[in-house]
Amino acid sequence: MPVTTAHSAPSVVPYRTTSARLALRQVTSSLTPAGPDGAWWPRTHDLASELCELADVLDPLWGRITHVAANPRHWSHVPRTTVLVNDHDVRIDWFAPGVDPHRILLQSYSAGRWDLLVVPPGTFALAAARLMAAASAGPEGLRRPWPRG
């Protein structure tokens, strides 16, 4: 007598890999160095779509990103005042003269503000790795506390 078993369809749970290419400065003291808190290497020049992957990594570490300031020079798609990032609104401010075109400033109400070097998407992997390592390194005595306000 054959035995049949009813198999239910597997449940589908949304899953997104954390693939943001990011290097952050390890912080151990309260002295503030000149320079970025780390580096980010986005895959495209579309800031609105790239922010989702960045927030996947940074929101659990720093608190929800609420505000971004960037220079529109290297971004092909310039979103208007707010964008939806992982089910919450993030305010975008574009400052051409006030923000270095290779930097992005991120802010969280719960934990403060950070400055990241943006490695252009088309950069060769070896060069990007060197830039990211340099931006996330620093003398032991000159690292800032994390999070900071």
- The one-digit pLDDT tens for each residue of the chain (149 residues) are 554 444 444 333 333 445 678 888 876 444 555 678 889 999 999 988 899 899 988 888 888 999 999 888 888 877 778 888 888 899 988 876 777 889 999 998 887 888 899 999 999 999 999 988 888 885 432 344 444 44
What's the pLDDT at 120? 93
Number of residues assigned to the chain: 149
Measured in degrees and rounded to the nearest 5, phi and psi for residue 131 equal -60, -45
- The CA-based angle 111-113-119, given to 5 degrees, is 125
Omega cis (within 30) before 79: no
Contact 121, 7 (CB under 8 A): no
pLDDT at 104: 92
CA–CA separation, 141 and 48 (whole Å): 36
